[in-house]
């Protein structure tokens, strides 16, 4: 292991790797703190710090008098860090996928001009996707991005892992995000895309992600099936 990285972080990473590798599955009990401490050759307090970090991240759950278990889902990460649909779904043990319904360079609508603080002469990329968890449609997501920001990215960068590609291939860094959540009834078109009845309850979110310098980066409107998705947050 590398030097000058605290031991408890190294142990945290190792245990997390083992869980991801499948050494322990969801609901499994980990070895006791005393056993793990011996195994990693550290004191129990140090081992506990590693477990504490995992617990803070929602990766494991501790039960007094019983043991430490691989958690069913991460609660905190959902709204805390960079919320990607992929992370949320995977943390619940389901397989995320998506289908791109449309993808085009176009002229912004008035709401896009306002959200992205455009002058009306710039072009944007607008794409619409349906997102699935275990092949069940969960939401329809419309993303709009000023074209000049993502010029160096190709379509695969954008549709596969936008945030990572963007930070890797440009000098920009992402900053805060503002999100508004409301509820509405499904329109005919949305109902069809999501395979629900017309006038089902829909959880609607509109999010603007900003660059670290405060300029808008993307504007995302999502419509989730009300009974297939929940937002979780901790404060």
Residues at the site binding a second copy, with contacts judged by CB under 8 A: 45, 75, 79-83, 176-185, 199-204, 224, 226-227, 229-235
Orientation of helix 33-40 relative to helix 7-21, angle to 10°: 110
CA dihedral 152, 155, 156, 162 (to 10 degrees): 70
Q: Report the candidate in 222, 186, 227, 188 with the shortest Cα–Cα distance to residue 206.
A: 222
Q: Is the Cβ of residue 123 or residue 228 nearer to a second copy in the bound state? A: 228
Residue-wise burial string across 98-131, b where 16 or more C-beta atoms lie within 10 A, e elsewhere? beeeeeeeeebeeebbebbebeeeeebbbbbbbb
CA distance 111 to 223: 17
Measured from the CB atom, the residue of 68 and 83 that comes closer to a second copy is: 83
What's the closest the beta carbon of residue 43 comes to DNA, in angstroms? 3
3-state class (DSSP) for residue 139: strand
| Least spacing, CB of residue 5 vs DNA, in Å | 8
Residue in 105, 110, 111, 107 with CA at minimum distance from that of residue 122: 107
Q: Could you say which of DNA, a second copy, none residue 101 binds, taking C-beta under 5 to 8 angstroms by partner kind?
A: none
Q: Considering the complex, what minimum distance in angstroms separates the CB of residue 92 from a second copy?
A: 13
Q: Which does 121 bind (CB under 5 to 8 A by kind): a second copy, DNA, none?
A: none
The Cα 55–Cα 71 span in angstroms is 9
Closest approach of DNA to the CB of residue 3, in Å:
8
147 or 211, CB closer to a second copy? 211
Q: Which entry of DNA, a second copy, none binds 33, CB below 5 to 8 A by partner kind?
A: DNA
From the list 52, 56, 54, the residue with the least C-alpha distance to 18 is: 54
Nearer to DNA, 32 or 111 (CB): 32
CA distance linking residue 103 with residue 71, whole number of Å = 37
- The footprint of DNA (CB under 7 A) covers 4, 6-9, 30, 32-35, 41-46, 48-49, 51, 62-68
Q: Given the complex with a second copy, which of 12 and 124 has the nearer CB atom?
A: 12
Q: In terms of CB distance, is 72 or 198 closer to DNA?
A: 72
- Cβ of residue 110: shortest distance to DNA, in angstroms? 18
> Which partner, DNA, a second copy, none, binds residue 8 by CB below 5 to 8 Å per kind?
DNA
């Amino acid at each position: 292991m590398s030097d000058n990285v605290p031991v408890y972080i190294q142990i945290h990473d190792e245990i997390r790797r083992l869980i991801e590798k499948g050494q322990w599955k969801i609901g499994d009990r980990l070895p006791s703190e005393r056993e793990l401490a011996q195994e990693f050759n550290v004191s129990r307090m140090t081992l506990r710090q590693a477990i504490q970090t995992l617990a803070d991240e929602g990766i494991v759950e501790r039960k007094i008098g019983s043991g430490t278990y691989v958690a069913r889902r991460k609660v905190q990460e959902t709204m805390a860090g960079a919320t990607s649909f992929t992370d949320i779904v995977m943390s619940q043990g389901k397989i995320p996928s998506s289908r791109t319904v449309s993808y085009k360079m176009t002229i912004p609508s008035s709401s896009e001009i306002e959200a992205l603080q455009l002058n009306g002469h710039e072009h944007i990329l607008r794409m619409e996707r349906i997102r699935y968890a275990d092949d069940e449609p969960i939401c329809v997501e419309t993303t709009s991005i000023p074209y000049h920001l993502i010029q160096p990215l190709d379509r695969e960068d954008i549709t596969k892992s936008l945030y990572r590609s963007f930070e890797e291939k440009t000098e920009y860094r992402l900053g805060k995000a503002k999100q508004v959540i409301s509820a509405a009834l499904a329109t005919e078109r949305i109902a069809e895309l999501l395979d629900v009845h017309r006038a089902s309850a829909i959880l609607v979110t509109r999010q603007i992600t900003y660059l670290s310098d405060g300029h808008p980066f993307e504007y995302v409107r999502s419509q989730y099936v009300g009974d297939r998705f929940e937002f979780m947050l901790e404060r």
